[in-house]
Structure 1
Amino acid sequence: MAIKEGLRPGGRSARVQESVHSAVRALLEEQDRATVTVPQIATRAGVTPSTIYRRWGDLSALLADVALARMRPDTEPADTGSLRGDLRAWAEQYLDEMSSEPGRQMLRDVQCSATPGFCATIIGGQLQTILDRYPDQPLPSVDRLINLLAAPTVFSILFSAAALEIEELHRLVEMALSQ
Structure 2
Amino acid sequence: MAGREGPRPGGRSARVQASVHGAVQALMTRMERAEITIPMIAVEAGVTPSTIYRRWGDIQELLADVAVERLKPDMQPVDTGNGGKDLLAWAEQYAEEMSSKPGREMIRDVLAAQDGGGAYQCCNFTKQQIDVIAARAAGRGEAFPEADAVMDRVVSPIMYRILFGEAPDTAHVARLVSGAMGLVSKAPASV
Query: Same fold by TM-score, threshold 0.5 exceeded?
Result: yes
Amino acid aligned to 1:176: A
Change in CA separation of 1:47 and 1:6 when aligned onto 2, cut-off 3 Å: closer
TM-score normalised by the chain length of structure 2: 0.88
Residue 171 of structure 2 aligns with which residue? 167
Deviation of 1:123 (Å): 0.2
Q: What RMSD in Å do the two structures reach over aligned CA positions?
A: 1.5
User: Unpaired runs of 5+ in structure 2?
Assistant: 184-191
Q: Secondary structure at the match of 2:81?
A: coil
Report matched runs for 1:77-156 at 5 Å: 77-113=77-113, 114-115=116-117, 116-135=119-138, 136-156=141-161
Aligned mates of 2:136, 2:101 — CA distance in 1? 32
Residue 7 of structure 1 aligns with which residue? 8
Q: 16-25 or 147-156, which moves further after superposition?
A: 147-156
Percent of aligned pairs sharing the same letter = 47
Aligned mates of 2:77, 2:7 — CA distance in 1? 29
Aligned mates of 2:155, 2:109 — CA distance in 1? 17
Figure out how many residues of one structure are paired with residues of the other and give that number: 177
Deviation of 1:137 (Å): 2.4
Deviation of 1:150 (Å): 1.2
Q: Secondary structure at the match of 1:134?
A: helix
User: Larger Cα Rg: Structure 1 or Structure 2?
Assistant: 2
Aligned mates of 2:6, 2:79 — CA distance in 1? 33
TM-score normalised by the chain length of structure 1: 0.94
Q: Secondary structure at the match of 2:54?
A: helix
User: Unpaired runs of 5+ in structure 1?
Assistant: none
Give the ranges of 4+ consecutive aligned residues of structure 1 lying more than 6 Å apart after TM superposition: none
